Structure 1
Amino acid sequence: MKNLIFALCCFLLAGCSSSGRLNADGKADLKVLYVGGNADTQSYTRKLSPEEHEASVQDRIAAFEELLRERFDSVAVVRGKEYTPEMSDHYDVTVFDGRVPAIRPQIMERNDKGEITRYVRAQLLPEDFSAAAVTIGSVGEDVGRAIGSKNDWYCLCLDAQAHHLVEDHPIFQGPFETTLTFETCPTPEDAFHYDYYYDGEMPDSLPMWRVQTKGYKTDPGFPIGMVSRPWGYTDSPDAEYISSGVCAKTLDAVAIGRHGNFLTWGFAASPAYMTDEAKAVFANAICYIAQFKGKGMLARKFNDRIATREYLKELIDLARIEPYEERVGWTEESNREGLKKQAEARAKKARGEKLSEEESYYLKFKPQRPMTLAEYLKRYQKEAYAILGEDLAAYPAYYNENRDYFYGGEGMYSMVVDEDCKAWGIPNNDKRLLDKAIACLEKGEETDRARRVLERYTLCTFTEPAEWRKWYDTYGDKLFFTEAGGWYFLVDGPATLPGNDYHAREKLTVEATTDEAAATEKQQAQLGATSQAEPVRAAARLTGTGEERKIEIRMRIHPGFHIYREVAASDSYVPVSVETSLPAGWSAGELIAPAPRKFGTAGTTVYENEVTFFVPLKGSGSGTATCTVKWQCCDDHVCMPPQSREFTFRIG
């Protein structure tokens, strides 16, 4: 009996070998590199001094180092600014908790109108980076997005508890002993905004597992976690969903998940604020990802706002009169608030009283015209509106009848019916489509359509029918279809297999990087057109003469997007703000802003379309004035990382 027990123990330990074996000291036999640099205290509520920030960074590094040394046999710690990708080659797992230097800088080129003509995201890691890695919070976006990671920035809004866990996943099993204690909590209020994505009736409460002892909702200034988009996250064999968490998005938003050799731990707390249960699971996550060292990512999500078929649920929901009337109501409420302030300002002026800058602004207030139903449908239904017009009843049938033939591989949140697939009556995610196209090439029938299909849904560059047939016959049993990865059929296997190279068709072009010289004041004042790639444009100019001036800031917001004016304590968005740095002798007054519209019930307010702010200046003397505008932009699907733009003016 003793021999049987001993043999069973050896078997269990051997089963843990790929994810870290525990030695006699109770530690996993893994070499772990921790890359730090983030702070445990954020500056959302108040600006930290350099000394405070550095102290917070050091506290966080110390907390991670302590936990890792307790659990792992060999641990090294470096600051992000000291890291190079080659360092990870010498470790089993790298834990990224700070931004690392870019190996390729961001490229942003503009035309003479100031419009972006070319944008290339900064790349922090090589595309062939295959070291096993765990990313903490929003660092997953930083290091992974440029190389196609599905661990993208859906929302920086993850709080302290997890729900919808895959409880039998290995990270909840071992090698470190784990316990999951659940408590029943109310369903996050924001999830009800996306109930059309949820199958069945939304529950009023959920069993939740506490990951952190603190969260940003209860402790202002506490680090905020990141969730990734769930749509298409698991549509490739190199990705797996593990857990969601309390956030401002859907109930299936990915808080913990794996794509290739990257495991995202979206929760942002350091071990100093992790529960004991979470510490064990986090250590298990490191052990688990170790087995994926050297395997890399197969499907690549280079377009973080690519549409998947799940998007049809939202389009169907938006094709109702209720969402349209709700948006009209928002505009009307903002108009009422603006007219009320205008009336108060006019009455004050009639009494001969001096008006404040804000009151003077409202004397010129003009109500915004609510969008028509046609404008609403054109904005949200896009391609379908050109076919269906204002016939709301036709939209659900159109989307359901054509579900198998929708294609979303081009643009951002774009869904069009692929008439080629529809003509053949074969769904575009069915590999029979490729077989049909290859057969057409072999027979010389419908060759144009066949080539379009093969080019649209594969990454291959074959020119002869025989090459296509050999590829299909060789790998047909291993083909899978990924929508998040570009609406392609890929081969389940190494990225080096034919049909898996995302750059196979790229034309090599080398262009000079954009000149980074400061824009002139004339260029700064040009607002330019928005786009999905750049949904907010900001322009600024200095107006007035003498001792009273104004900085006028105009912001144009792309249709479907909004920025935040006031943010409720329960929300995690970043409000628009303006900071000025003025030469001696000058001072700035309070920001003058128009009335925003309400967003939700918590007290958050937003701006859409266009908005103009003013910063009054008083003083004398000459020098350079600097104005920095900061904002966060969101649409109905995703909140983008906070942005800022700096403007400079000669004054005096």
Structure 2
Amino acid sequence: MNIKFNILLLALLVCAVPLYAQQRSQSPVKVLFVGYDPAKPMPEAKRSYPGMMTEKEFKAEYPLRMPAFKALLGQYFAEVKAVDCRDWKPADSEPYDVTIFDFATTPLEPAKQEKDEKGNMKYISARYLPDNFSKPVIFMASTADEMGRRIGLKLDWLCLCLDADAHHLNANHAIFKGPLEKVVPTLQNKKTPDGVFHYTTGVGIPKEIPMWRVQKEGYLDGTGARIGLVSRGNRFTESPDAEMISSGVCQKDVGAVALGRHGNFFLWGFGASPADMTEEAKKVFVNAVAYMKQFNGRTPIAKKYNDRMATTNDVKEIISHTSRESYDEYVAQIKSFNEANAKENQRLTDKKAAGQQLTREEEESLQYIGGQQEIDSWDVFLKRAMGKYAAKFGTDAAAFQKYMNDNLGYIYCDPEAFFSYSIDEDVQQIGISNHSLKLLDACVAMLKKGEKSELALRVLKKYTGENFATAKQWGSWLSKNRSRLFFSETNGYRFMINTYS
């Protein structure tokens, strides 16, 4: 990146905004941009620089990002204000329709550790936003997880590995239709990311897929671009408060979310500022800003506080991976990793021995990069995949797969635990999927007939969060809310009420 050229270009853009604004009918949407003000000193780095950027990347971007956003936003919106993220307070967003967070603000509460009811230590993330924050927001890249984790957003950290292209794009979404610019995304067939084929969702995906270029350069180009974030796509759209717009080039599955919305919060997972966005992406970005205004007060219905909980998507992956084919792929991956690790370790060792100075990141990587990862045997690999079911099935992968597939409708994933799942024997006994409203109907009918009433009550309470005692009360509640009920795995593994309708 030519810093002097970009600064000059941005200065020209800022100067041109008033003239350009006279030619364009500007949107009345009021926008607040929250990032680092280059007029203020750079923050001191701790383990890494803000946005998980390297020192070199952050210093290069520091004088450019806020002016670039102000220049772009000023072309389309009549009122734009920028504040330093270290100074922002929740009340600052009140006069504005949409707030854009480029980097995390000063925490309202620091991270901490607390003991849970079982005496185990539990990590509590720092708080950046009040639980009831209802103003529309756009998060840039990893800022989404950093600021949204404490308040239960689905815009979590699956992987900080998003590059420059979007794929599996919903080009019919409103942010491509306007309201400020109509964009027909230019699609080009490119090599499908290798990570896609490591998941069951990658079955049948072609070796090349259509992609939309969002940034001029990505971190995989080796140019020091800010790395983007993808969030978990598993169960992302299970609730009426969320929508996925696209995935993107990363190391994860095709369902990883690069552009998406949860309630009044929007994830723009790509890391580039407008200075490095493509012309089409800049237009879609300002459309997204205008689009979000309508979600003022539409806070998320289904929260997600544990991004390490299992989902039925994960269970299906586990079933699929208990195969020789998956084991062979695992062995090849570990061998490739060990070879690359050894090669990089040798490069850094030789560089240091030659008296050349290592970067901060290289010095840190030398502490762990030399180790070789051990390759498990087939038996160990299989038993680890089966988890607690290894005691039941040993090394009989086919029997495990059949049992799990036969009981998929009765799977219960503990929303408070770390990737824990089981077969709910109560639901299995009734014989109806716990994701189906027919299960609730059956339990109410059992109560009315006095058949296995204790079992029926356990199931009703577990999968609704309600605590009624009689069949009449349960029937009345179900009749009243039936059309608004949806099943959420991530928010308690239960039926919830759509409070939007």
- TM-score normalised by length of structure 1: 0.62
Partners of 1:370 and 1:179 in 2: CA distance: 47
Question: 1:33 matched to which residue of 2?
Answer: 32
1:59 aligned onto 2:68: no
Q: Hey, what's the Cα distance between the residues in 1 that align with 2:276 and 2:340?
A: 43
Which of 64, 72, 76 pairs up with 1:71?
76
Which moves more between the two structures, 165-174 or 384-393? 384-393
Where 1:486 maps in the other structure, the secondary structure is coil
SS at match of 1:134: strand
Question: Is contact 2:410–2:433 with CA below 8 Å preserved after alignment?
Answer: yes
Q: C-alpha distance in 2, partners of 1:250/1:462?
A: 41
Over residues 453-486 of structure 1, what are the superposed CA-to-partner deviations in whole Å (9 max), with x where a residue is unaligned?
Answer: 1232122244555443332121112111112333
* CA deviation profile, 1:423-444 (whole Å, cap 9, x unmatched): 1111101112123333444554
The residue identity in structure 1 corresponding to 2:222 is D
Is contact 1:45-1:220 (8 Å) kept? Answer: no
List per-residue Cα deviations over 1:77-132 (Å, max 9, x = no partner): 11111111222222111111111122232122589xxx962221222111111111
What does 1:545-556 correspond to in 2, within 5 Å?
none
- Quick check: 1:441–1:447 contact (8 Å CA) kept in 2? yes
The amino acid that maps onto 1:309 is: T
Q: Which amino acid aligns with 2:427?
A: C
Closer, same or farther in 2 for the Cα pair 1:481/1:369, shift >3 Å? closer
Distance 2:371 2:104 in 1: 45
Q: Contact (CA 8 Å) 1:231, 1:484: kept in 2 or not?
A: no
Is 2:90 the partner of 1:85?
yes
Residue 37 of structure 1 contacts residue 99 of structure 1 at CA under 8 Å; is this kept in 2?
A: no
Q: How far does the alpha carbon of each residue in 1:14-44 deviate from its partner, in whole angstroms, 9 at most, with x for none?
A: xxxxxxxx99842211001111139999968
Distance 2:22 2:173 in 1: 23
Partner of 2:303: 300
Residue number among 260, 267, 272 corresponding to 1:257 in the alignment: 260
Output the CA distance in 2 between the equivalents of 1:300 and 1:131. 17
| Cα shift at 1:377 | 2.8
Structure 2 counterparts to residues 116-155 of structure 1, below 5 A:
117-155=121-159
**Per-residue deviation, 1:333:** 9.4
Give the residue type in structure 1 aligned to 2:79: S
More displaced, 281-290 or 401-410?
Answer: 401-410
Contact in 1 for aligned 2:37/2:83 (Cα 8 Å): no
CA pair 94-181 structure 1, distance change in 2 beyond 3 A: same
RMSD: 3.2
Secondary structure of 1:250's partner?
coil
Aligned AA (1:26) = S
Contact 1:108 1:116 in 2 (8 A): no
Structure number with higher helix proportion: 2
- Judging changes above 3 Å, is the alpha-carbon distance between structure 1 residues 278 and 131 closer, same or farther for their aligned structure 2 residues? same
User: Are the equivalent residues in 2 in contact too, given 1:458–1:488 (CA < 8 A)?
Assistant: yes
Query: Retained in 2: the 8 A contact 1:37–1:61?
Result: yes
Q: Are 1:239 and 1:257, in contact at CA under 8 Å, matched by a contact in 2? A: yes
* Aligned amino acid, residue 204 of structure 2: E
Matched residues in 1 for 2:382 and 2:66: separation? 50
Find out whether 1:161 has 2:160 as its counterpart: no
Change (3 A) 1:368 1:100: closer
Among 291, 295, 298, the residue aligned to 2:294 = 291
Q: How far off its partner does 1:164 sit?
A: 1.0
Sequence identity (%): 40
Shift in Å at residue 146 of structure 1?
1.5
Match of 1:279 in 2: 282
Identify which of 445, 448, 453 aligns with 2:451.
Answer: 445
In 2, are the aligned partners of 1:306 and 1:412 still within 8 Å (CA)? yes
Secondary structure, aligned partner of 1:381: helix
Q: 1:301 Cα deviation (Å)? A: 1.1
Unpaired runs of 5+ residues, structure 2, are 1-20, 342-369
- Whole-Å separation in 2 of the counterparts to 1:368 and 1:172: 45
- How far does residue 374 in structure 1 lie from its aligned partner after superposition? 4.1
- Between the aligned partners of 1:420 and 1:38, the Cα distance in structure 2 is 58
> 1:514 is matched with which residue?
none
Which of 206, 210, 224 is matched with 1:207 structurally? Answer: 210
Return the structure number with greater strand share: 1
Structure 2: how far apart are the matches of 1:106 and 1:283? 33
> Counterpart in 2 of 1:541?
none
**2:406 partner letter:** E
Residue 455 (structure 1) aligned to one of 458, 461, 466: 461
* Cα gap change, 1:120 to 1:451, in 2 (>3 Å): farther
Alignment of 1:241 with 2:240, yes or no, is no
| TM-score normalised by the chain length of structure 2 | 0.80
Q: For 1:249-269, what per-residue CA distance to the aligned partner results, in whole angstroms no more than 9, with x for missing partners? A: 112211001111111000010
1:103 partner letter = L
Q: Give runs of aligned pairs for residues 424-503 of structure 1, distance below 5 A.
A: 424-494=430-500
Given that 2:114 and 2:124 are in contact with CA atoms closer than 8 Å, whether structure 1 keeps it comes out as no
Contact 1:383 1:415 (8 Å CA) reproduced: no
Instruction: Name the CA shift for 1:384/1:242 in 2 (closer, same or farther; >3 Å).
Output: same
Q: 1:143 to 1:23 in 2, by over 3 A?
A: farther
CA 1:448/1:278 → structure 2, altered by over 3 Å: closer, same or farther?
A: same
Distance 1:139 1:322, change over 3 A: same
Number of residue pairs aligned between Structure 1 and Structure 2: 440
1:321-358 Cα distance to aligned partner (Å, 9 max, x none): 243355567789999999xxxxxxxxxxxxxxxxxxxx
Which one of 261, 269, 272 corresponds to residue 269 of structure 1? 272
Counterparts in 2 of 1:280 and 1:335: CA distance versus 1, 3 Å:
closer
Give the CA deviation at 1:399: 2.1
C-alpha distance in structure 1 between counterparts of 2:371 and 2:302, whole Å? 50
- How do residues 366-445 of structure 1 correspond to structure 2 at under 5 angstroms? 371-410=376-415, 411-445=417-451
Aligned to 1:343: none
The separation in 1 between residues aligned to 2:282 and 2:86, in whole angstroms, is 26
1:631 is matched with: none
Q: Please tell me whether the aligned partners of residues 187 and 206 of structure 1 are also in contact (alpha carbons under 8 angstroms).
A: yes
Tell me, what secondary structure is at the counterpart of 1:382? helix
Cα–Cα, structure 1 residues 457 and 120, in superposed 2: closer, same or farther, change >3 Å? Answer: same
Distance 1:373 1:223 in 2: 39
Structure 1: gaps (5+ residues): 1-21, 339-364, 498-652
Shift in Å at residue 308 of structure 1?
2.0
- The match for 1:570 is none
Q: Aligned AA for 1:202? A: I
1:285 positional shift: 0.6
Q: Name the structure 1 match of 2:346.
A: none
How far residue 372 of structure 1 moved from its aligned partner, in angstroms, is 4.5
Q: Which has the larger radius of gyration?
A: 1
Cα deviation 1:264-314 (Å, max 9, x = unaligned)? 000010000001110000011111111011110001111112222222331
Q: CA deviation at 1:173?
A: 0.5
Q: 1: distance between equivalents of 2:453 and 2:211?
A: 55
- Hey, what does 2:312 align to over in structure 1? 309
Residue equivalent to 1:609: none
Give the direction of change, closer, same or farther, for the CA distance of 1:280–1:441 in structure 2 (3 Å limit): same
Q: 450-459 or 52-61, which moves further after superposition?
A: 52-61
